[in-house]
């Protein structure tokens, strides 16, 4: 009987120890560091202080928080508007085509996301594709300053994150019961009513999962604003990265991360509360 429990205790202790050392402990350390004082020479030192949290109440930081939430939200909404009809069209295909088209979404994402972001530079440049086409069509008479602006950042984010919206939506729409749509139509609902009353509520889990998977990374992929944005396009990710690797203010960086994590936790909590009782799971 010794073998019986051996495997169970072995696997459980391995995963618990790993998670405690490399997930829980580091997060506790971040929380502790965020209350320590900043020191030029030793990165951190005692005494404990709330100074960094109070510093965060500064207009500059608040502005970055606000802007990050705004741009990430904008990116999420555009991804949803672009992604929903796209996912819907693919989900309604015959199985044979469907897997091919899904594969076609995934293939570009196996090449480095950095390189794909870099390729956006060639497209958004003053002499790049978008400007050339618009000039040729006569829509504009001089190149638009797309690159190194917030617009470029949002386009870059959408390009990188759209599949994370499409894939959860796709699995959700695939499972939609066609009989419900037929029934609604038989009972005299027009297309819009059917969509609003049946399709939309039933695909809400997909919409929410997709939005979470787009919204969370959008605020923290620091290399996209770094490559495509101007000097003013600093998002939370860049701010945290700066505190750790440039100005070496670890306590302030930690405090920003903690506030950010708490805000995200709050959003996820709301999600969990609204989803409870409904069909749950399939977050990933």
Residues in region 220-279 near other proteins by CB under 8 A:
220-223, 226-227, 236-237, 240-241, 244-245, 250, 253-254, 257, 260-261, 264, 268
Q: Which of residues 136-195 bind other proteins (CB under 8 A)?
A: 159, 162
Segment interacting with other proteins, rule: CB under 8 A, options 54-62, 117-125, 140-148, 196-204: 117-125
Q: Give Cβ neighbours of residue 250 (< 8 Å, ≥ 6 apart).
A: 33, 38, 43, 44, 243, 244
**Which position among 75, 79, 90, 146 is part of the footprint of other proteins (CB under 8 A)?**
90
Q: Which CB sits closer to other proteins, 118 or 195? A: 118
Q: How far apart are CA 257 and CA 239, in angstroms?
A: 10
Q: Least distance to other proteins from the beta carbon of 231, Å?
A: 14
Q: Which residue from 53, 61, 69, 101 is in contact with other proteins, where contact means CB under 8 A? A: 101
- Pick the stretch among 2-10, 62-70, 145-153, 168-176 that binds other proteins (CB under 8 A): 2-10
Contact 180, 202 (CB under 8 A): yes
Number of CB atoms found within 10 A of residue 10's CB:
9
Interface residues for other proteins in 8-27 (CB under 8 A)? 8, 10-12, 14-16, 18-19, 22-27
Distance between CA atoms of residues 241 and 216, nearest Å: 16
Q: How many degrees, rounded to 5, is the angle at CA 53 between CA 51 and CA 58?
A: 95
Binding part of the chain for other proteins, among 57-65, 180-188, 196-204, 219-227 by CB under 8 A, reads 219-227
Residue with tokens 């670890």, as numbered in its chain: 250
Give me the 118-137 binding string for other proteins, x by CB under 8 A, dash otherwise: xxxxxx-x-xxx--------
Residues 42-71 that bind other proteins (CB under 8 A): 43
Q: Can you tell me which of 169, 219, 234, 255 binds other proteins, judged by CB under 8 A? A: 219
> Does residue 73 touch other proteins according to CB under 8 A?
no
Ramachandran angles phi, psi of 93, nearest 5°: -75, 170
Q: Rounded to whole angstroms, how far apart are CA atoms 284 and 266?
A: 19
| Number of residues counted as binding other proteins (CB under 8 A) | 81
56/207 Cα distance (integer angstroms):
33
Nearest approach in angstroms of CB 257 to other proteins is 5
Write the CB contacts of 249 (distance below 8 Å, at least 6 apart in sequence). 38, 243
């Amino acid at each position: 009987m010794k073998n019986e429990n051996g495997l169970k205790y072995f696997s459980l202790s391995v995963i618990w120890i790993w998670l405690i050392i490399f997930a829980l402990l580091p997060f506790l350390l971040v929380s502790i560091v965020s209350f320590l004082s900043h020191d030029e020479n030793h990165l951190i030192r005692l005494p404990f202080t709330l100074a960094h949290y109070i510093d965060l109440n500064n207009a500059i930081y608040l502005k970055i928080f606000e802007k990050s939430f705004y741009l990430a939200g904008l990116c999420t909404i555009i991804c949803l508007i672009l992604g929903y009809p796209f996912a819907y069209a693919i989900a309604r295909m015959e199985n044979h085509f469907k897997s091919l088209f899904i594969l076609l979404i995934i293939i570009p994402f196996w090449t480095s996301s950095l390189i794909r972001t870099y390729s956006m530079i060639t497209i958004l440049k003053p002499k790049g594709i978008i400007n050339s086409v618009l000039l040729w069509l006569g829509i504009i008479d001089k190149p638009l300053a797309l690159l190194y602006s917030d617009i470029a950042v949002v386009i870059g984010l959408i390009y990188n994150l759209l599949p994370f919206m499409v894939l959860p939506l796709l699995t959700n729409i695939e499972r939609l019961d066609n009989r419900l749509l037929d029934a609604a139509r038989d009972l005299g609902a027009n297309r819009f009513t059917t969509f609003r009353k049946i399709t939309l509520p039933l695909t809400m889990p997909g919409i929410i999962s997709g939005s979470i998977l787009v919204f969370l990374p959008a605020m923290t992929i620091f290399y996209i604003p770094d490559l495509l944005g101007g000097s003013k396009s600093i998002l939370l990710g860049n701010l945290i990265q700066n505190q750790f690797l440039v100005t070496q203010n670890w306590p302030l960086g930690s405090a920003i991360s903690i506030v950010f994590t708490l805000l995200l936790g709050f959003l996820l909590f709301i999600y969990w509360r609204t989803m409870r009782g409904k069909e749950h799971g399939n977050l990933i």
